[in-house]
Structure 1
């Protein structure tokens, strides 16, 4: 029996356009990935886990999570290592989960949060809010309303005839609004959207969408807040579809043969800054020269692409995280 509950979401022209573009991009991606690449899938899974945990403040790098994945010893805070181990286990269980099943939801949360909180695998017993410093960004519904709200949401996703790109994003937003668990709601919401999407197109489970969300973390929270203010999930849906599209296009680009790819405007700015001083610069100096405050944005949009394109190089390449690290134009 179809659910009578319908989460509010306006279907905007941008949403329709993004659905078309995502579908077309997935078609191109399927041609490039005709042969299943297990190594690439593992790399993307690690990127997914690292991105999702980083949004929640975990500082582990992709290299450290890879080491944990391989059972190697890692020197890092015990809580962060536990979070990574839990996330790896949760994704190992991924194919056996059903998005509309409450017991599967509890199972996934229990795996993700074991050893981290007492209320792992059960709905929260107390009231919670989303904070930014001392500012309250969102007060979730009272704990006694959570079971009914989640029952309605799960019934809706089981019977929804909306396009999965829309329904998965709406579920993600509604889940974050309800905030059903004492902790781990962000990583659960992102995991469950990927689960819903994977039932529509299995290629989407191979993509590090959460890593791209991490690159646009501020926009992610702004989209949630805007949807809450408007009582309409559309802004969040638009954000998620745009992020999914960027992830697919990035995957296509990295797997397509390219001849002299053109640097992005951000990379060109970085190259000009280095050329202007004609010497190596550290990260802080580069950000100051480019008048950039956001360290994550600088790393993802400027520094990392320039290094990957081999347009710049590290002065201490064997120690990428050295506090003495500087960057210079690639020597010919």
Structure 2
């Protein structure tokens, strides 16, 4: 059986025509139609949508007739053309939401954040801060090859200093790109906006002949770096502008009623796929595609998505990410393969975020339990306690106004006020960094100063 990147290619549908020629073939066909269940046989035990590559290892009910079973499965999946999207050969892309509703429902539950203890505005400012959003900027750059450590990357974004190398520039660009998606969320999608997103993503961070924000003027072949095998041949460059306009028309269409309805999360995922499939640029396609995903999620009212990093998990599973594109392209343009994978990644990202926030809440509760025994406790608010919790864990640590701005999403004046109060209480040591900028050091004997020993 033919393979691409180790992926088994689905059987040719022409075998159905051959089978239906005689009575015996028709009898077998109808036996399989009755026996095959699109839910039981079309998904794995975790509820993931099966491509032929996965179906052949699980289709024990059909023994030596797995190819026929898969072709009948595709017939029973109720695939329909998706939003007038077509490939360069003018063949439609298909999809079905059958079997995906459980994942969409799960995402709807998790993205509300109602299960988190963030009822107060102060609680939200402590945990839903710019520092959390930085995760996506860093992970997206690392997914594309940036080698800067997370610690250095966070310091880079918090301080706003100049990037020192290509990796740092990619991270700065991604941070600017995230800000841009939010700034443009109320605008319709245009080819010019897609070019702008690519320009922001790649400006001063180029590794090939790509020009930031310009459509490629030649062919692109996506290859496995290790084997050299061609995984995807992108549409020829004369098709690009027309296909990008098609993507814009799709994004701007309502798709809110009746048979035209497309769930916004599905639509955002398809935008991600289409940019990756068209590969309109020599560089920055992945970053631009993920930016489009976030842009549409924010545009559709999913404001909390700005705190969620999908790139962190895509970086952890690059092979599965690549296969989700391959599965769609090799299975008659069935977008459901990519959509289903993207929904799984979103759920994992939301669960990861839930774990992160819960750990921060627990840390804060532990700090409160400790500081309640201090004579200065009555003078502290939650922001002071959050600072002291970090100071108690890392003696000698230096706090800055800029860091608190990002960590708590507060103004410089408020950040300075919190730090100055702790310095006045002799709980931090204030010193001049440079010019009018001050740092605040966590003293080694902080527990003694708090009188909690």
TM-score (norm 2): 0.53
Quote the residue 1:178 is aligned against: 278
For residue 8 of structure 1, the aligned residue among 70, 93, 116 is 93
Structure 1 segment 1-332 matched on structure 2, within 5 A:
4-5=84-85, 8-29=93-114, 32-34=117-119, 35=121, 36-37=124-125, 40-71=128-159, 78-97=165-184, 98=187, 100-117=189-206, 118-133=210-225, 134-161=228-255, 162-200=262-300, 201-230=302-331, 231-256=333-358
Q: Residue 40 of structure 1: CA displacement?
A: 4.0
Q: Check 1:216–1:160 CA distance in 2 against 1; reply closer, same or farther (3 A cut).
A: farther
Does structure 2 retain, via aligned residues, the 8 Å contact 1:114–1:120?
yes
Quote the residue 1:287 is aligned against: none
Cα distance in structure 1, aligned partners of 2:223 and 2:349: 28
Q: Residue 41 of structure 1: CA displacement?
A: 3.0
Provide the aligned length of Structure 1 versus Structure 2.
257
- Further displaced range: 67-76 or 242-251: 67-76
- Further displaced range: 134-143 or 9-18: 9-18
Does structure 1 retain, via aligned residues, the 8 Å contact 2:116–2:354?
no
Task: Mark the runs of 5 or more structure 2 residues left unpaired by the alignment.
Answer: 1-82, 87-91, 256-261, 363-396, 398-453
Q: Residue 113 of structure 1: CA displacement?
A: 0.9
Q: For the pair shown, which has the larger CA radius of gyration, 1 or 2?
A: 2
Q: Residue 12 of structure 1: CA displacement?
A: 4.1
Q: Residue 212 of structure 1: CA displacement?
A: 2.0
Cα distance in structure 2, aligned partners of 1:182 and 1:143: 11
Cα distance in structure 2, aligned partners of 1:12 and 1:247: 21
Q: Residue 85 of structure 1: CA displacement?
A: 1.8
Q: Check 1:72–1:212 CA distance in 2 against 1; reply closer, same or farther (3 A cut).
A: same
Helix, strand or coil: the match of 1:123?
A: coil
Does structure 2 retain, via aligned residues, the 8 Å contact 1:195–1:205?
no
Helix, strand or coil: the match of 1:124?
A: coil
Q: Check 1:193–1:23 CA distance in 2 against 1; reply closer, same or farther (3 A cut).
A: same
Does structure 2 retain, via aligned residues, the 8 Å contact 1:226–1:235?
yes
Helix, strand or coil: the match of 1:192?
A: helix
Cα distance in structure 1, aligned partners of 2:84 and 2:201: 31
Q: Residue 72 of structure 1: CA displacement?
A: 6.6
Task: Mark the runs of 5 or more structure 1 residues left unpaired by the alignment.
Answer: 260-317, 319-332
Does structure 1 retain, via aligned residues, the 8 Å contact 2:272–2:292?
yes
Deviations 1:129-167 (A, max 9, x none): 111121111010001100000101110111051111101
Helix, strand or coil: the match of 1:14?
A: coil
Cα distance in structure 2, aligned partners of 1:40 and 1:47: 12
Give the structure with the larger helix fraction: 1
